[in-house]
Amino acid sequence: MLKSAKSRAEELFTATQKKDQLALKEKEKVQRERADHVAGLRALRLAKEAADKDAAEEADAAKSAAKTKKSSRLPKGQPRQS
C-alpha cells in the first residue's frame, strides 16, 4: 500500500518537530552549562578579590604598626624634641 502524500507530509513534519525539539534541548543544555561555568568563575574571582583585599588590609595594618613602633624609638644620643 502506498502512503498518501498527506500522511507522508505529516510524518516528515513530526520528524522535523522532534528534531527541532532535540536541537532546542541541546542548545538549552549548552547555555545552562555555560551559565554555570561563568557563575563558577565569577564566584572564584569574587573570592580572590576578597582575599586580596583582606591581605592588603593586613599588610597596611602591619606596615602602619611597624611605622608607629619605629617612630617611637629614638636613636641613642639624640634629645627628645617637644
User: C-alpha angle 68/74/80, rounded to 5°?
Assistant: 110
pLDDT digit string, tens, across residues 8-29: 999 999 999 999 999 999 999 9
Are 80 and 74 a contacting pair, CB within 8 Å?
yes
Q: Mean pLDDT over residues 32-60, rounded?
A: 97
How much is the mean pLDDT over the chain?
A: 88
Residue at 68 is within a domain: no
User: C-alpha angle 58/59/65, rounded to 5°?
Assistant: 90
Residue at 56 is within a domain: yes
**Domain that includes residue 42, residue range:** 34-62
**pTM of the complete model beyond 0.85:** no
Using CA atoms, how far residue 31 sits from 12, 27, 35, 38, in Å, is 28, 6, 6, 10
Provide the grid cell at 46. 569574587
Q: Mean pLDDT over residues 57-63, rounded?
A: 90
pLDDT at 59 over 70: yes
Residue at 44 is within a domain: yes
Q: Mean pLDDT over residues 41-45, rounded?
A: 98
